Structure 1
Amino acid sequence: MPRSALFVIDIQRELAQDPKTRIPHAERVCSAGEKILSVARGIIDTYRSSEQQSPSTIVVVQHEERPEDGTLVRDTEPWRLVFEPRDGVREEVLVAKTTRNTFETIPDLADKLKADGITEVITFGIQSECCVVETSKGALDAGFKVTILQGAHSTYDTESKSAVDIERAVEEELEGRGAEVIPWEDAVASWEQRCMISSYSIFSEL
């Protein structure tokens, strides 16, 4: 069964919660993240309850910096995650990275995902034009199908572009490379529908 990996990228307190440093659309990204993870975890739990392999896994990505390079220093408040993987759930993993591209920091990550049957990477998080786009491109380069969840990623405004303009530019760039751009609400609705059908099949066999 083809499986997908949901990458939750760098939704950390400095970027998403601290009123002094968070991105302008942090509330939107966090609200979307709560709903996305609620549905994704519900699907995982449905399969776990029937002792069958889930069609998806959740990869929580956490950026780390050295004190001389930035403020996302390990074990500090800015570095901490908004959404942490659940303890004891095999389908939820935490990965640390030090570069924008998660696959660059962890060279064997793609092979590990493929060995686990993963064929698609789904991305959302912070910042659109940094770690979200670079991790998405890393997944494409590694041969995965890639979907970015529109409305569930964002960044800071710049002098010349608004955060929303940057979001759209990133989506266009990834689409041009072969990725799919889907509003997160549509993706979640599709997952829920497929889970309902699959759940009927799973439990009818018990």
Structure 2
Amino acid sequence: MTKNEIELAPNAALLVIDVQKGFDDASYWGPRNNPQAEANIAALMDAWRETGRPVVLVRHASRTAGSVLAADHPGHAFKDFVADRAGQESLLITKAVNSSFYGTPDLADWLTAQGIGQLVVTGIQTNMCVETTARMAGNLGYEVLVPLDATHTFDLAAGPAGPSLTADQLATATAVNLQGGGFARVVTTAELLGA
């Protein structure tokens, strides 16, 4: 194996984080990046199902009043392409914070019980729940792969008078943070599908 090749474990887990209808509300979130994210996530879900590898679906249940991701809001539901593939997942986690490791049931306990040491982390938002989960997974000793093109995020400002970054700038920062910081290896969907 060369330095750039990817070797996927037979039980590598695919985490699909917060791919929920509420994120389609542009009036709530603002401009997004990577319009191919959903197609890439779907392709990875299909590949994982075909190879019998475990898929973990994570859903955010916001506690913030009026959130489009609140459990009682229609936006809490998975996007159709995920819902259409649901039932094949090995685990469904509900969380109310950024890290998928702070949800129910406990992700780390399940991974340990299954003997899983390699994670592929996808979903929404790149710089929030995806990055937080990948960082924590790296800290916990998992081998973490993040196909950045199977994630997306939104433009973000630090407040009315604060600095702002575009979604693409935030995704680039996430890639630098994860790979440069030694938390995860940033890859592409095509590289994973070819592994």
Which residue of structure 1 lines up, in the alignment, with residue 65 of structure 2? 68
Structure 2 Cα separation of the partners of residues 107 and 12 of structure 1: 19
Distance 1:34 1:21, change over 3 A: farther
- Quote how far apart the aligned CAs of 1:107 are: 8.0
Which residue of structure 1 lines up, in the alignment, with residue 21 of structure 2? 13
TM-score (norm: length of structure 2): 0.80
Letter paired with 1:12: Q
Q: Relative to structure 2, which stretch is displaced further, 23-32 or 115-124?
A: 23-32
Secondary structure at 1:34 match in 2: helix
TM-score (norm: length of structure 1): 0.77
Q: How does 1:1-206 map to 2 (within 5 A)?
A: 3-15=11-23, 17-21=24-28, 24-25=32-33, 27-44=35-52, 56-66=53-63, 68=65, 70-82=67-79, 83-84=82-83, 86-87=86-87, 89=88, 91-106=89-104, 108-159=106-157, 160-175=164-179, 176-190=181-195
Structure 1 Cα separation of the partners of residues 51 and 28 of structure 2: 34
Structure 2 Cα separation of the partners of residues 124 and 132 of structure 1: 6
Secondary structure at 1:3 match in 2: coil
Secondary structure at 1:27 match in 2: coil
Structure 2 Cα separation of the partners of residues 120 and 158 of structure 1: 31
RMSD: 2.2
- Quote how far apart the aligned CAs of 1:158 are: 2.8
Instruction: Give the number of the structure whose alpha-carbon radius of gyration is greater.
Output: 1
| Runs of 5+ unmatched residues, structure 2 | 1-8, 158-163
Structure 2 Cα separation of the partners of residues 32 and 40 of structure 1: 12
Structure 1 Cα separation of the partners of residues 148 and 10 of structure 2: 23
Report Cα offsets for 1:69-118 as digits up to 9, x if no partner: 7331114211110113532x4x5321100110111235842122121010
Q: Relative to structure 2, which stretch is displaced further, 21-30 or 140-149?
A: 21-30
Structure 1 Cα separation of the partners of residues 105 and 132 of structure 2: 14
Structure 1 Cα separation of the partners of residues 183 and 28 of structure 2: 33
